[in-house]
Amino acid sequence: MLYDIFIDPFVQMYQMPDFFLQVLWEGFVAGILYALIALGFVLIFKASGVFNFAQGIMVVFAGLTLVGLHENGVPAYLALLLTIGVMGVLAYSVERVVMRPLVNQPDIILLMATIGLTYFLIGFGEFVFGGEPKQMITQELGLPTGSTAFEFGERGLVILQHIDIAAAVIAVIMVASLGIFFNKTRIGRALRAVADDHQAALSVGISLNQIWAIVWFAAGLVALATGIMWGARSDVSFALEIVAFKALPVLILGGFTSIPGAIVGGLIIGFGEKIGELYWGGLVGGGIESWLAYIIALIFLLFRPQGLFGEKIIERV
Amino acid sequence: MFYREAGQFKTSYQADQALMPIRQDRIGLAAILLIAFVAIPFFANDFFLTSIMIPFLVFSLAAIGLNVLTGFCGQLSLGTGAFMGVGAYAAYKLTTIFPDANVILMVLLSGVFSAGVGAIFGLPSLRIKGLYLAVTTLAAQFFLEWCFIRIGWLYNYNASGAIEIPHREAFGVVVSGAESSPLVRYFIVLTITVGIAMLMANVLRGRIGRSWMMIRDMDIAAELMGIRPLQTKLLAFAVSSYICGVAGAMMVFFWLNAAEPSSYSIQLSFQVLFMVILGGLGSLAGAFMGAAFIWILPVFLKFIPGVLGFDVAAEAVEHVTFMIVGALIIFFLIVEPHGFARLWQIGKQKLRVWPFPY
Amino acid sequence: MNALVSEKELSPAAAGAPAAGEELLRVDNVSLSFGGVKAITNISFDILEGEIRAIIGPNGAGKTSMLNVINGFYHPQEGTITWQGKVRRKMKPYEAASNGIARTFQNVALFKGMTTLDNIMSGRSLKMHKNFFWQMLWRGPAEAEEIEHRKKVEDIIDFLEIQAIRKTPVGRLPYGLQKRVELGRALAMEPDLLLLDEPMAGMNLEEKEDMSRFIIDVNQEFGTTIALIEHDMGVVMDLSDRVVVLDYGKKIADGPPEEVQASQAVIDAYLGVSH
């Protein structure tokens, strides 16, 4: 028993390095996708203190809108543009209808409001586009398909899906441009001011409403990109919502307000989950992917309550 | 005019700290209990009992359980569904192992197991606070759900993976299984729910309830006044999970007859949380109001198109129901973030001064 | 003040009438730092039974940190604290509370969702013991206990003259009254040592006078030892028996008010000195 837990998995890793590398790659890709969802959470939490439970559903909703438009005869690129427009409208209405009347309410009320939004979007998406899973329009959007196999060692093979590589590249571009946007532009500076202190930001003439609409739109764009990447790996359906919960332990690890935290946290969860499932999961009957991420985050948090990049919290009275 | 407390003087502390110091409130509660115990059993048909009243009461109890933890002790939990599941599976195992024991007793006993599990998952609350804690309770939710699926012993290795409630008798009456009468089940559920609600009302107004609220309002000050944070929070987790566990056991024993792991999924956690928030955090009456709203509204919406004569596909109705429920939740949060309980209080205040505005 | 219970009942210190001036608490060479920032450096002083001890100093001098050390919220890296003649080990805040140390806070730290009555009742938590089972039943022991403590609390409410706001949620009270309720909550603990962190911050003259009177009454009638932080020099000089002055985490003066007032180091600290 002890051998199975502490030694055997490492022996396997050593004996089959190609399989181990494949696992690492899978973990990397999953981690990137978790990080992207977490990124959407972080954007909104930073600017408004709202823990946006609807981020997961926004991913599905964006993907569904894109595919749904294309199914109804809209060319792929036009559909993409229209979907961006839809996300803009969504951001504006959320700000106008939900955020603005609820400003200054306690965290839990805002959290509940976003869960209410989740219900609404599920109902709306299924009502308009139907509930059955759909195929992502990968080729029509000009995204690469197929895969490359690398020979490794004597007879091992590591297979990389092209779409995964594209996902990683797009994620990097997205994080970089968000970084530039935050640090170099006027709106970015206003955004950081709002994140620090709402009232002080208001008093120097920053419009909270405008900033919130912008971050929700940015989160919507991130959701769209995530939806495309994820949809290409499986199907677009509301079952993805449950996977979106995986972004939550990522947030715990990285902290609710840190963009680098979201990335690193995503990768840790991605790697940890895949390695744990494939090397240790069999010992307890498999399927531990559904909760392993939470337990990793929980144990981590017990030792470092401030998260990966947070400063040590000094309580004051 | 009818709701005035003028002329009702209290001459002892005992009378002043009674649960309902105002006479009209006491009359109101007595009337509600009379309706629940006498009028409804007398007039209601089976559909009303099984589809509306029993689930409403089960959910009310679950909402009370979560309210103890979130509304009174300030610890946000998203694992309610799983704790209810622990109660259900524990009661199922208990009645399998002791087939001759009184099943009502087994249901009440099952809460002890969920209380234990709840206390274990409450341990991190000492170091983790607020939304971070909420996310860690998801660990409980997903881990326990996985246990319900993977550990065959819990469901007696049924091929279906679901638990099916066997035929059981108590006091010479069939109380569970397919043949039991809705009326009997209704009485059991009603008695347990009302009983626990009253006991909790007592706990919440005394020392223990106060210590929970101290932790909720200002945990540092509470600690500096001699409250031990870990014990207090763990007690809240245990009591809350006990109540949720009993609610979960009643859900399968006296309402659904059978349950699979997905019955106790995160959706259930959200549903109960909505009841607590919309009803009003920190209010027992609110738990009942929230449960009524969240459970009865969708049932009601399902029948509207038929009544109006529209022929709409059942699927579309379901989608629209989702939309409406989501929108209404946001609407009520905007109108009154403190929930129906606060609306009720405001209404009472208006009654008190009626016909004058102030 | 005939509304009060006899002093004996409320304060063991007065009842036993020990030789006034016995040492209640002593702080020896205490240092506290957060990371690289030194909040308190090598401070020693004592608090005698029955006195009003003031701790003063400019902003950021480490006064509140000192109180936090005394009631166990911060743990100093160096130095010892002697409480009632025994060197205290590292203790949790709730242990300090059960040892008889109560306090109020610089920024009011009341339980916002509860009424005035409940807030003051919460000060009795340590003295109530009926368990969960009796609490559930209510009728009987739990109710009797509740009423017994309610009587004590009503005495405090009378003493502080806040009868009218008994059933008001404290979140709705004006600042001055909140401070008063907070004092009541601390008094309900019947402490041996009462720490007051800026009890008069943000008050107008009349409220300050009221508060001063309450503090003196608490000290003289119940015999409670008081350590207080305050910025209003007039109040400090009038109320306190002895004063400790801190500046940049160091002790610069210690003694009776008049002596401290005349000290050159204190004048420099408050008025600044040309280097």
Which residue from B minimizes the CA distance to A106? B337
Range A223-247 average pLDDT: 80
Q: What's the pLDDT at A176? A: 87
A:C CB pairs within 8 Å: 10
φ and ψ of A218, to 5 deg: -60, -45
Query: A305 Cβ partners below 8 Å, 6+ apart?
Result: A313, B127, B128, B132
Of A221-235, B53-67, B211-225, C44-58, which range is least confident?
Answer: A221-235
**Who wins on pLDDT, B32 or A76?**
B32
pLDDT at residue number A152: 65
Over chain C, what is the mean pLDDT? 87
Which residue of C34, C35, C68 is in closest CB contact with A317? C68
Residue A236 DSSP one-character state:
B
Q: Is B11 on the interface with C (CB under 8 A)?
A: no
Query: What is the pLDDT, as a whole number, of residue C52?
Result: 94
Instruction: Measure in Å the smallest separation between the Cα of A316 and chain B Cα atoms.
Output: 9
Whether A224 contacts A87, CB under 8 Å: yes
φ, ψ dihedrals at B352, nearest 5°:
-65, -40
Domains of chain C, by residue range, sit at: 7-271
CA-nearest of A63, A69, A30 to A275 is A30
**How many Å apart are CA A266 and CA A246, to the nearest integer?**
9
Domain C7-271, what fold? Answer: Rossmann fold (3.40.50)
Kindly state the helix (H) or strand (E) to which residue B259 belongs, with its residue range: strand B258-259
Task: Identify the domain containing residue B188 by its residue range.
Answer: 43-264
Regions of chain B with pLDDT less than 50:
none
CA A144 to chain centre: 21
Q: Which of C34, C35, C105 sits opposite A317 (nearest CB)?
A: C105
What pLDDT is stored for residue C4 in this prediction? 40
Which chains form contacts with chain B, at 3 or more CB pairs under 8 Å?
A, C
Give the HSE-up count for residue B88: Cα atoms under 13 Å, Cβ half-sphere: 34
**Between these two residues, C8 and A309, which has the higher pLDDT value?**
A309
Which residue has tokens 């109660």?
Answer: B87
- Within 8 A of A249 by CB-CB distance, chain B residues are 135, 138-139
Answer yes or no: do B202 and C136 touch at CB < 8 A: yes
Instruction: Check residue A232 and give its pLDDT.
Output: 81
Burial class, B332, CB count within 10 angstroms (exposed 0-12 / middle 13-18 / buried 19+): buried
Q: What is the pTM of this model?
A: 0.90
For chain A positions 294-313, those within 8 Å of chain C (CB to CB) are 312
Place C275 in a pLDDT band, splitting at 50, 70 and 90. low
Residue B316 lies in a domain: no
> C146 versus C3: which is more confidently predicted?
C146
Mutate to test the interface with A, among C37, C38, C74 (most CBs of A within 10 A): C74
Provide the pLDDT for residue B92. 94
Nearest-Cα residue of chain C relative to residue B217: C111
* pLDDT tens sequence across A159-200: 788 888 888 888 888 888 888 888 888 888 888 888 778 888
pLDDT surpasses 90 at A233: no
What is the percent of chain A where pLDDT is above 70? 96
CB-CB: which of C97, C98, C113 is closest to B216? C113
Return contacts of A124-127, CB within 8 angstroms, 24+ apart: A124/A61, A124/B319, A124/B323, A125/A57, A125/A60, A125/A61, A125/A64, A125/A65, A125/A238, A126/A238, A126/B319, A126/B322, A127/B316, A127/B319, A127/B320, A127/B323
Residue type, B288: F
Q: Does C104 touch chain A (CB under 8 A)?
A: no
- Residue C248 CA to residue C38 CA, distance in Å, equals 9
Q: Which residues in chain A have their CB less than 8 angstroms from residue C74's CB?
A: none
Stated as kind and residue range, the H or E segment containing A125 is helix A107-129
C171-225 pLDDT tens trace? 889 998 999 999 999 999 999 999 999 999 888 899 999 999 999 999 998 899 9
Share of chain A above pLDDT 90, in %: 13
Structural domains in chain B (count): 1
Task: Name the closest residue on chain B to residue A111, using Cα atoms.
Answer: B131
| pLDDT, position A155 | 62
Contact residues, chain C, for B213 at CB < 8 Å: 111, 113-114, 118
Tell me the average pLDDT across A228-241.
78
Q: pLDDT-based confidence at C7, cuts 50/70/90?
A: very low
Question: Among A13-27, A103-117, B30-44, whose mean pLDDT is lowest?
Answer: A13-27
- Residue B160 is classified by DSSP as S
Q: Which of A94, A108, A289 to mutate to test the interface with B (most CBs of B within 10 A)?
A: A108
Counted across chains A and B, CB pairs separated by less than 8 A come out at 134
Instruction: Please tell me the number of Cα atoms within 13 Å of B317 on its side-chain side.
Output: 15
- Whether residues C189 and B213 touch (CB distance < 8 A) is answered with no
A290 and B146: CB-CB below 8 Å? Answer: yes
Q: Give per-residue pLDDT as tens, C83-141.
A: 998 898 888 899 999 999 999 998 889 999 899 999 999 999 999 888 899 998 888 89
Band (C6; pLDDT cuts 50, 70, 90): very low
> Which tens digit of pLDDT belongs to each residue from B40-86?
998 888 888 988 999 999 999 999 999 999 999 999 999 999 999 99
- pLDDT band (50, 70, 90) for residue A312: low
Q: Where do we find the tokens 């999924």?
A: B265
What mean pLDDT is reported for chain A? 83
Q: Are A317 and C35 a contacting pair at CB < 8 A?
A: no
Q: Is the pLDDT of residue C8 over 70?
A: no
Nearest C-alpha neighbor of C96 from the set A130, A300, B226, B113:
B226
Instruction: Count how many pairs of residues, chain B against chain C, have C-beta atoms within 8 Å.
Output: 104
Question: Taking CB atoms and an 8 Å limit, are C106 and A312 in contact across chains?
Answer: no
Of A19-28, A151-160, C26-35, which gets the smallest average pLDDT? A151-160
Q: Does C267 touch chain B (CB under 8 A)?
A: no
Chain A residue with minimum CA distance to B270: A115
**Residue A317 sits at the chain C interface (C-beta within 8 Å):** yes
Segments making up each domain of chain A, as ranges: 19-241+267-275
* In a domain? residue B130: yes
C5 has a pLDDT exceeding 50:
no
Dist. CA B95–CA B252, nearest whole Å: 13
Chain C segment 188-207 residues within 8 A of B by beta carbon are 189
In this prediction, residue C15 carries a pLDDT of 37
Indicate the pLDDT class of residue C164, thresholds 50, 70 and 90.
very high
For residue A127, give how far its alpha carbon lies from the nearest alpha carbon of chain B (Å).
6
Tally of CA atoms within 13 A in the half-sphere of C181 that contains its CB: 31
Spatial neighbors of C237 by CB under 8 A, at least 6 apart, are C257, C258, C261
Phi-psi region of B84 (alpha: psi -120 to 50; beta: other; left: phi over 0): alpha
Looking at residue B101, its pLDDT comes to 86
| C105 CA: distance to closest CA in chain A (Å) | 7
Q: Are B258 and B312 in contact (CB under 8 A)?
A: no
- On whether the CB atoms of residues B241 and B115 are closer than 8 A, the answer is yes
How many Å lie between the alpha carbon of C243 and the closest alpha carbon of chain A? Answer: 23
Which residue of B207, B232, B235 to mutate against C (max C Cβ within 10 Å)? B207
DSSP string, B31-96: HHHHIIIIIHHHH--HHIIIIIIHHHHHHHHHHHHHIIIIIIS----S-HHHHHHHHHHHHHHHHH
